[in-house]
Amino acid sequence: MQLPVSSRMYLQRKQVDDVMGGEDSWKNVDSTEVTCPKCDNDRAYFMQLQIRSADEPMTTFYKCTRTECGHQWREN
């Protein structure tokens, strides 16, 4: 009885660009009082983007103002 021949190939992942513009997208944004879920800092930078269709509300993205943290998240 012969066993089937097979091999496994792992594909290399492509490096992708940051769709929000990278670090430059956070240069001229305002900050607001909101708690960072990672470090409990009470202030974060924010920006709003339309990522869905025009009849959907805008999505708010946040970035912690503490340079040691810098955690990014979006409003649920």
Catalytic residues: 55-56
Q: Which of helix, strand or coil describes residue 63?
A: strand
Hey, which residues does 63 pair with through a beta bridge? 45, 72
Place of tokens 């009885």: 1
Q: Which residues contact 11 (CB under 8 A, 6 or more apart)?
A: none
Alpha-carbon distance 50 to 8, whole Å?
41
